[in-house]
Amino acid sequence: MVVDDSVVIRGMISRWIGAEPDMEVVASLRTGLDAVNQLERFNPDVAVLDIEMPDLDGISALPQLLAKKRDLVIIMASTLTRRNAEISLKALSLGASDYIPKPESTREATAAETFRHDLIQKIRHLGAKARRSPVHTTASPPLAPGHDKPRTGLAPVAAPAAPTQITRRSFGLLQPKVLLIGSSTGGPQALMSLVAEIGPVIDRVPVLITQHMPPTFTTILAEHLARTSKRPAHEGIDGESIRPGQIYLAPGGRHMRIARHGIDATIVLDDGPPVNFCKPAVDPMFTSAIDVWQGSIMSVILTGMGSDGMRGGKDIVAAGGSVIAQDEASSVVWGMPGAAVNAGICAAVLPLNQIASKLVRVFAGDRS
């Protein structure tokens, strides 16, 4: 279900979705009120929900939609303004599954292949997980206008095959001197939960985070991380020294690498091409950290689509460091952590609510 007051945006997104063999647009609506009133009629698996609309805006429609269908996947769509970034992050806390920044103009949108790629991938992965969920409704929805047969929505997707044997590695023998975290879809909520519980780790070592996010969104996220952790948190600044007690977040649109400058570790912002379709990407941060800290690295790969972080994680483990991955059940999408697990590089695979306590123990000297 596509909900946007711009007929151009609605038409464009609907054409993109309609071109995919495993997706179907069941409704194209102008306002949040239309979406709430017609939810039962169309029974979508996924709603792409604009923020700024007449009658009922996206953030107001969100809880009403979820009250009617609690397993509905809602992807918030908004232009890149500070206000919309704030609203999108608030929407995640209210139950939205994800967000996507829209190009500033319809002319830009028409040519925005990245927007199309990201939107389709989010719909596919989040929708597939919803259809595997035990609470997902299996009732056949009524006919949508213009359809001569019941719609099937997203094609049924089998759960990803579990590896026949998960290889667990021992934790590195060296005391970690830094904590590196990579995340994507579902990451903002996971990061908030994690940083709230790892105060003793932050006080001991620097924490560097790459979250797949556009500019402006990372500015807001850093502010939220500071409030939640009660520790200083900000977007990394090119050339700044890295200190214990601080959280550094890769700024949207730039890769954040680490380099040695004299006796200091410093941040290097990189405006190079996307890595793993992402900018910022986790792999550049992971791999560059080895030149500074060698095997004294603890890394965590949280929920997210794709496999970003897996190659960098391999390098960290080869250098003597360690990787912890979030488990599938607690991940919004088990792409990134799943890739690390299946690559056999993880010392632990844990539910989100157990990662913080494990990190506190590891940084206190526990290598078990």
Q: Catalytic residue numbers?
A: 184, 212, 308
Kindly state the tokens that stand for 238.
């090119």
CB atoms within 10 A of CB 185: 27
Helix segments in the chain, DSSP class H: 7-18, 32-42, 58-68, 82-93, 106-110, 113-132, 187-195, 199-204, 217-229, 282-293, 310-318, 336-342, 352-363
CB atoms within 10 A of CB 368: 8
Distance CA 28, CA 30 (A): 7
Report angle CA 357, 166, 360 to the nearest 5 degrees.
10
Distance CA 162, CA 116 (A): 30
What DSSP string runs through 168-181? Answer: PPPPPSSPP-EEEE
Kindly state the tokens that stand for 91.
């929407």
Cα torsion angle, 247, 251, 255, 257, sign: negative
Kindly state the tokens that stand for 271.
């405006």
**Distances, alpha carbon 332 to alpha carbons 65, 73, 125, 328, in Å:** 19, 11, 9, 8
Convert 11-30 to b/e letters by CB count within 10 Å (16 or more is b).
ebbbebbeeeeebbbbbbbb
Phi, psi of 303 (to 5 degrees): -45, 145
